[in-house]
Amino acid sequence: MDQPSPSSSSSTTASTTTPLLQHQQPWWRRRLQMKNNLSSEISGAVGDLGTFIPIVLTLTLVSHLDLSTTLIFTAFYNIITGLFFEMPMPVQPMKSIAAVAVSETPHLTTSQIATAGASTAVVLLLLGVTGLMSTLYRILPLPVVRGVQLSQGLAFAFSAIKYIRYNQDFVASKSTTARDWLGLDGLVVALSSLLFLIIFTGSGDHNDRHDSDDDQPRRRSSKRLRIMGSIPAALIVFLLGLVLCFIRDPSIFGDLKFGPSKIGLLSITWNDWKVGFLKGAVPQIPLSVLNSVIAVCKLSGDLFPDRTELSAAKVSASVGAMNLVGCWFGAMPVCHGAGGLAGQYRFGARSGWSVVFLGIGKLVIGLVFGNSFVRILNQFPIGILGVLLLFAGIELAMASRDMNSKEESFVMLVCAAVSLTGSSAALGFVCGILLFLLLKLRKMEFSGSGFNKFKFGSAVDAETSSIP
């Protein structure tokens, strides 16, 4: 047998080792890598503004939240978390705290809102650094997690439909009269935006292309879909809303004042801590655990199956760290929401760059316009916000489509129904867990020494049973 020449041996070695060396990118280059084209990443950045703007606007008008401070701090949160998690990690308002702040009589003060956020942050930070959040994430049944995601997604979608159909009084937190067909915030504008997004983004399935197909019509269709997908549709709709703000009320130009507000520590009393914890943190903590950590981590694995699933401990610690910094200065309490991740992904965000761009935009607005930017937000077409929120809600709800058995679907739907009816994700979660345990108990095999096997599902591994 002929011996391989030294040159061929070295060639073989080089061809074997070179691909390995190519994959060993420095950590900084991997974090700075953009996973999609620039226009899609920027378009995806506005995917969660359908929830961000209404809540920020409401807290600013009702509870005198300092908009400039909130924009500046959330800008830094966006930039840091985008680079750290390497995916479009959203930064959203803590919804339960916001709802309590404007519904209580009298309304919660800025200091009480801050203490509610800080109290929630302490709990999440402890759950994260001790590893308890990771343990909780591993043992939770997947159908219950899907039920929480489904309920949150449908809740967003229901709110979105109200935004589109009815005028909104955010101060009173209710819908008012039916929206007119015509006008700069009419149904025609909202429905046109909806149709535009459907035409250019479709169902959100970016894997339906047939590049390798020999059929000429299919290749042409695939090329057309790529071109349409490269257009930042959500960004165009959002910019349309900004233009309409100035057309609706030209006096905005004269009311804008340049420069941020002065940032300083809040004056917080013991009563602020008591009110903030009991009225704000207590209902917010279970929602943050479920939707801001558990659901976000599971959704990250669904949307990015080729990447490592987010660590529940890191996400929980991230929420805690953000609020333990910003709340002391009066910034709005924030979290990582599954709806925000779904919305940003839906419109093209595939890397942390999308939220980095969003953070840069917030930082510029906060530094240049400060609190006067609330005049623009107050005139933003609510129908357009409803359209953006609708896509985010539907994308989140569709994460539950992998329930393959009747038992899994039963648990998921009961959990979602209770969550929606009782307006409490925590209540739906408890009912889902109890139902899951009862169904497992029903199938338990008893013997003389006790019971045989009792196998739990988890939020990480789906059950593999099929439809009977």
Arithmetic mean of pLDDT, 143-172: 93
- Report the distance separating Cα 26 and Cα 24, nearest Å: 7
- Report the distance separating Cα 298 and Cα 134, nearest Å: 12
Q: Per-residue pLDDT tens for 324-343?
A: 999 999 999 999 999 999 99
pLDDT of residue 7: 47
How many angstroms separate the Cα of 252 from the Cα of each of 256, 318, 371, 375, 379?
Answer: 6, 37, 13, 6, 9
- Report the distance separating Cα 193 and Cα 209, nearest Å: 25
CA angle (40, 164, 195) in 5-degree steps: 45
177-186 long-range Cβ contacts below 8 angstroms, 24+ apart: 179/383, 184/244, 184/247, 184/248, 184/381, 185/244, 185/248, 185/381, 185/382, 185/383, 186/383
Closest of 135, 114, 458 to residue 267, by C-alpha: 114
Q: Tokens standing for 288? A: 């943050």
- Report the distance separating Cα 369 and Cα 376, nearest Å: 10
Q: Per-residue pLDDT tens for 274-333?
A: 999 999 999 999 999 999 999 999 999 999 998 888 999 999 999 999 999 999 999 999
pLDDT of residue 15: 43
User: If pLDDT is split at 50, 70 and 90, which confidence band does 72 have?
Assistant: very high
The count of residues in the chain is 468
The full set of domain ranges for the chain reads: 35-412
- Report the distance separating Cα 219 and Cα 94, nearest Å: 45
The SS3 assignment for 47 reads: coil
The SS3 assignment for 174 reads: strand
pLDDT at 364 over 50: yes
pLDDT at 214 over 60: no
Sequential DSSP letters for 259-304: SPPPP------HHHHHHIIIIIIHHHHHHIIIIIIIHHHHHHHHH-
pLDDT of residue 432: 95
| 381 upstream amide cis, omega within 30 of 0 | no
Give the range among 189-203, 381-395, 453-467 with minimum mean pLDDT.
453-467
Q: Per-residue pLDDT tens for 6-55?
A: 444 444 444 444 444 445 556 556 666 777 788 899 999 999 999 999 99
